[in-house]
Amino acid sequence: MLEFGMPTLIENRTLEDNIALCKELGLSFIELNMNFPEYQIDKIEDVEWFYKKADEAGVYYTIHLDENLNVADFNPLVRDAYLETVRRTIEVAKHFVELKNRYGKKEQPLTINMHMHHGIYITLPDKKVQMYERDFDVYMDYFLRFKKSCEEWIGDADIHIAIENTNGFREYEKKAIESMLESACFALTWDIGHSKGTGEIDVPFILDNKSKLSHFHIHDGREIPPKNHLALGDGEIDLIDRLNVAKACNARCVLETKTIKALKKSVEWIKNDGN
């Protein structure tokens, strides 16, 4: 059976509010979003408190890294800060593995979700030049270092970092991702709403790497005009098809709507139509 969780929602000002909603809806886990001030690394490092709150409710956590995370930033001070954030997040996640084993699927590693940062581009009269494309060798070197560091930091812990599609992987990003997926420490997240909103341009790449799919962000969406994070049933996505792929991959699924109302509607859709 598929295991469903929820994102941290902006309407919920506290962890307790999110946990109460997770419990009420019969969901298994909460994806802690490090874009929120209350889930910054210095906050979630209070692992005993976070662990206790989840354990009392019978739920567990996955973690979503800051969307601004850029481990290939050309500025070494900025790059090192992001790398240190990942290192410390992995240490936090190690404490949450036991929660995952107690209340979730033991056979699926605990997920730390990350985005690929496109980097900056320079606008010329006739085109835009992506700096990471121009300086690809430097970019790739930073990602090879990142991969090696993550392998050292994770060690034999039951954790992996899942790379999420957003608004279309760039070609230089695909090459970096392919290198990372060679490691057992990395996997893929398929965000089906982002995928729909970009005309499914990432689907061939994702399906070519289907064996590495372990995490899904499930929400409905539309292609024209692009729209996502809709409640399930409110868009144009073939949700049953996507859920069947998730089942085949034994993946966990975040019902990644942005409001409590849409989350509740999505849970009802899963109960009534998702089977």
pLDDT class of 226 with cuts at 50, 70, 90: confident
Kindly give the interhelix angle for 47-57 and 15-24, rounded to the nearest 10 degrees: 20
129-165 pLDDT, tens digit per residue, is 999 999 999 999 999 999 999 999 999 999 999 999 9
Please work out, in degrees rounded to the nearest 5, the angle formed at the alpha carbon of residue 160 by the alpha carbons of 130 and 197. Answer: 45
Please tell me the predicted confidence (pLDDT) of residue 177: 98
2-50 pLDDT, tens digit per residue, is 999 999 999 999 999 999 999 999 999 999 999 999 999 999 999 999 9
For the chain, which residues make up each domain, given as ranges?
Answer: 3-273
Per-residue tokens: 259: 């409001």
**Which one, of 64, 80, 91, lies nearest residue 154 by Cα?**
91
Phi, psi of 28 (to 5 degrees): -95, -30
Per-residue tokens: 135: 């300086």
Instruction: State pTM to two decimals.
Output: 0.96
77-123 pLDDT, tens digit per residue, is 999 999 999 999 999 999 999 999 999 999 999 999 999 999 999 99
What span, in angstroms and rounded, lies between the C-alpha atoms of 251 and 83?
27
Share of the chain above pLDDT 70, in %: 100
pLDDT over 90 (residue 274): no
Please tell me the predicted confidence (pLDDT) of residue 275: 64
What span, in angstroms and rounded, lies between the C-alpha atoms of 267 and 275?
12
Indicate the CATH number for domain 3-273. Answer: 3.20.20.150
What span, in angstroms and rounded, lies between the C-alpha atoms of 22 and 194?
23
Cβ(38)–Cβ(49) under 8 Å?
no
pLDDT over 90 (residue 190): yes
**Which one, of 136, 119, 128, 122, lies nearest residue 69 by Cα?**
119
pLDDT class of 198 with cuts at 50, 70, 90: very high
- What is the average pLDDT score of the chain? 97
pLDDT over 70 (residue 1): yes
